[in-house]
Amino acid sequence: MRVLGIDCGMERTGYGVIDSDGRRHVIVAAGTIRTNTRHSIATRLGVIAAGLREVIAVHHPEAAAVEEVFHAVNTKSALKLAHVRGAAMLVLAESSLDCGEYSALLIKQSVVGHGRAEKQQVQYMIRSLLGKGAPLKEPDACDALAVAICHATVKARAVA
């Protein structure tokens, strides 16, 4: 199964595409969609949506996943994140892709083995699972790959 994982962010939205049978994962593509902080939120959401549409058109994922909204102390940041998630989910719906939503705890558990893993541990496991092509220098892309791996793992368990 080809899975698109998305790490939503207003400044940087990470994406990662993998091919997976639920146990073995192969990286297809990963990167970051960047927006200009001086532009309006509407313009920035348009840039993110266009970038995700391009990723979908080029890589043809069969499924997609995003991280659930977490409870943040900073309400303004949480609202911006929710806007980006909404734009991402709209693009996925337009493309007729089912969208899995996972907590940060479950994503870390799927990749590292426990839900309280540090960012460096997740990056290490992404490198371990996907090999040297994993974009460790791009934390948003790395996080998006973790979301994709989580989705593939959860779906494989549901079938087994």
- Catalytic positions are 7, 67, 140
Q: Are 151 and 63 in contact (CB under 8 A)?
A: yes
Q: Which residue has the tokens 């791996």?
A: 149
Task: Give the C-alpha separation, 123 to 94, whole Å.
Answer: 31
* Cβ count within 10 A of residue 58: 10
